Chain A
């Protein structure tokens, strides 16, 4: 793996390099000057960074929902590394510690933060959500309280996987997954798969996963899905698919996770879920959806929304430490930190298919 991207400045000091999004489909490894280390900060040398669907979306369109990339921005946010230096007030971390990073810095002053729903902070500064720089870099500076020490048996790549896994964990908490909830997962991509793994860790007794792609369904089965069902993108097929789902579940669907977020998947979820159950909308497909909400609401099927996560790193790390969750099979492709490899990595991730999680090793 190339260690490219590191270069020395004229005074012999290391020049911090990062992958910058400079234009549509254009990533360039360029110098990235770090801010000074504050008393509560840590400087982390990045070792593992995963690519997220949102990173790909920014690369292709320079925007994601209402967030627009107006000037060059460092990409990447799913990361783990090694502490290089800590600020004067940092007590819990020392240089050499291996840590996973929670990307988002919330304000801690607003009502949302103070009530614990800091993921909804309107002033959130989140790696690679414009205008905040991301972490596909040699080093970053980050608040120490958002750097979580990895147990000895958890690798740096697994540390980087805590970020997508956190989405699955947060969704399972909001949907109240437990030993009595039979779960349906729509979509067997990285988010559907981490949601499935999280649901199992939360005790879900039966998990059925659906997708349009055979190969992704095989991965899901290998990772522990009780049943897999191939579905279509055709809205006409909803009734038939709901029947197949009910048969595969052997009982009612208590919670559905729509990890795709399209009319078809949401319609299927709303129809398949039992009265009094929940549909958790994790995926962000269409902005506006045409769905049979009324008949679902009239069966008291609630729709639970998901935005990133909160307070999930400790639990994710414990799941990984104990082996209750194994994310390693999701890492399907690895690249080094060089101009060429950065470009290839994003192409691979954007291609989907048998690429689940594409990981940089720095």
Chain B
């Protein structure tokens, strides 16, 4: 949409997808803040939909984050630099970049100790009250904007965000060539965790899910074995026996990329003494789980919140082809009112929709 400025010049009005009510997304003008000396202005070209975006869309909240006023949605993004602040040396207009969504305060203890993802003052794209990035353009700190190598596409750049969750989980859980891995959930996060675990050297990876088609896809992407499980808590013992048979040995690390009683209970039971269960998926709370028998075998539970210091490694893994995220992009939409609505519907349905991507 164009508008005429005071000096007669015609400028594009920046438009964004605003969440203004339950299941109510509207493309409307989005006025950007002025460019600070350390900021860049990015023309967004690729943006993926995350489960949390869908959750905001359906509920106007995620956990304690409540959408109290209209908010621009979206945070998994990449684009092209349109303008750089006066102090920005590392980036230039025209650079293709991926964006790390969260601006931390850099003054609290959590930030200074390197755990900036836990900063209580974090301003994160699409996490109320901070506006997201499903827009023509955004303004963002240059130090959170990473140049893409020539052979990494803008869509792959946008995939760095969910891939970062997987990489952070593999780091926290300490995946190595010695660790056999079990993953619950073959959705986008489970699949990326599988790809990241392989890159970190895991010699054997089993993926579990309720959905046959998602499991086939996981096998296609390189799972050593797949196992269809149920949502029934009674089936745990049987499923654990099957998992152990498939693994041939102990499960060193389990990633629960779903976050329900059933998956967590299975993970806690299946993981060997001294192993780890990494809780990545954010499901309902409280959970009812066999925590004591697991703790009494020194199975530790590792928590995951987003990521920290992951863009450089993600970009490098994509550049060298060590990880190929392209097959995960299953649906593409344009930045129009109709397509925005369709895209969210598709993403919300799950099934064979893994990553739904906007091309702007």
Contacts and interface: CB of A to CB of B under 8 A. Distances in A.
Interface in B116-141: 117-118, 120
B298 A306 contact: yes
B63 A297 contact: no
- Which among B172, B259, B291, B305 has the highest number of chain A CB atoms within 10 Å? B291
A284 B292 contact: yes
Contacts of A211: none
A307 B296 contact: yes
Given A275-B110, A290-B286, A294-B282, A301 B292 contact: no
A120 interface: yes
B304 A300 contact: yes
A298 B63 CA distance: 10
A173 to B, nearest CB: 12
A174 B301 CA distance: 13
A48 B63 CA distance: 54
A120 B273 contact: yes
A53 interface: no
A287 B297 CA distance: 13
A326 B279 CA distance: 39
A235 B305 CA distance: 26
Interface in B265-314: 273-274, 279, 282-305
Nearest to B260: A294
A304, A305, A307: residue with the most chain B Cβ atoms closer than 10 Å: A305
B86 interface: no
A65 to B, nearest CB: 7
Contact of A305 (B115, B283, B289, B294): B294
Interface string A256-277: 0000010000110000000110
A73 interface: no
What is the interface of chain A mostly: helix, strand, loop, or mixed?
mixed
A285 interface: yes
Interface residues of A, number: 37
A129 to B, nearest CB: 12
B264 interface: yes
A284 B293 CA distance: 8
Contacts of B115: 275-276, 300
A261 B283 CA distance: 23
A38 B267 CA distance: 42
Contact of A293 (B120, B298, B299, B301): B301
A306 to B, nearest CB: 7
Please tell me the size bucket of the interface on B.
35 or more
Given A275-B118, A276-B118, A289-B291, A298 B303 contact: yes
Q: DSSP majority for the B interface? A: mixed
A303 interface: yes
Contact of B292 (A281, A290, A296, A304): A281
B300 A294 contact: no
Contacts of B297: 120, 305, 307
Interface in A274-320: 275-276, 281, 284-307
Contacts of B273: 112, 117, 120, 122, 307
A293 to B, nearest CB: 5
B284 A303 contact: no
Query: Which residue, of B274, B286, B300, has the highest number of chain A Cβ atoms within 10 A?
Result: B286
A293 B294 contact: no
Q: Which of B282, B285, B288, B298 has the most CB of A within 10 A?
A: B298
Interface string B51-79: 00000000000010000000000000000
Given A299-B305, A302-B302, A302-B303, A112 B274 contact: yes
A301 B279 CA distance: 11
Contacts of A290: 286-288
A302 B301 contact: yes
Q: Of residues B283, B290, B303, which shows the largest number of chain A Cβ atoms within 10 Å of its Cβ?
A: B303
A292 B274 contact: no
A305 B298 contact: yes
Given A117-B274, A302-B302, A305-B300, 15 more contacts: A117-B273, A117-B298, A120-B273, A261-B292, A281-B295, A286-B292, A289-B290, A289-B292, A293-B264, A297-B279, A300-B118, A300-B305, A302-B300, A303-B301, A304-B295
9 contacts: A289-B292, A291-B291, A292-B287, A293-B291, A302-B300, A302-B303, A303-B300, A305-B295, A305-B297
Interface of B: 63, 110, 113, 115, 117-118, 120, 172, 259, 264, 273-274, 279, 282-305
